[in-house]
Amino acid sequence: QDPYVLPLSHEATSESYVKETPLPPRIERHNESTDVLRARLVYQSRKRGMLEGDLLLSTFAAENLSTMTHKELLEYDRLLDEPDWDIYYWSTEKKEPPERWANTKLLQRLRVHTRNEGKVVRKMPDL
C-alpha cells in the first residue's frame, strides 16, 4: 500500500488506475526573451496553488534561476507543466519520477534544495 497517495491516483479516487496524470497541451512561447522567461518562471514557481510546492519551488527559483542558461530555464519550464503533487513527491524523494525526469540534473538540483542540508529557514521570496 502506497503511504503517499496522490490526489488523482486510483487509491484516492477508486476509479480506474491511470499510470500518469495526462498533461495539458504545452503553450509554446516563441520569441520569448530569456529575461521574460526567467520572470515568468519566478511567478509560476510561486503561484502553484499548493503552499508546500509554492515554498519549495519559489525558494529554488530565487536561488537558481539567475544562474541558469536559457536551455536550463526551458527545462524548468517543462517541469512546471507537471502536476504540483508529482513535483513535490519527486523532489522529496517519496515517489519515483517518470523516466523523462529520473536522471536529469534539474531534478537532482531540486532534490538537493529540498533536503535543505544547511538547515536554512526558508520563507516565500518577494516577487
Nine-digit cell string for 5: 497517495
Cα dist. 85→93, 105, 117, 123 in Å?
A: 12, 20, 22, 20
pLDDT in tens, 36-93: 999 999 999 998 888 999 999 999 999 999 999 999 999 999 999 999 999 999 999 9
Residue 85 lies in a domain: yes
Residue 79 lies in a domain: yes
CB burial of 88-103 (b: ≥16 within 10 Å; e: otherwise) equals: bbbbeeeeebeeebee
pLDDT in tens, 95-108: 999 999 999 999 99
Per the confidence metrics, is the pTM higher than 0.85? no
Residue 60 lies in a domain: yes
Number of domains present in the structure of the chain:
1
Nearest-angstrom CA–CA distance, 120 and 70: 28
Structure confidence at residue 8 (pLDDT): 63
Range of the structural domain that residue 60 is part of: 34-115
Check which CATH number belongs to the domain holding 90 and give it.
1.10.150.250
Nine-digit cell string for 7: 490526489
Residue 21 lies in a domain: no
Residue 40 lies in a domain: yes
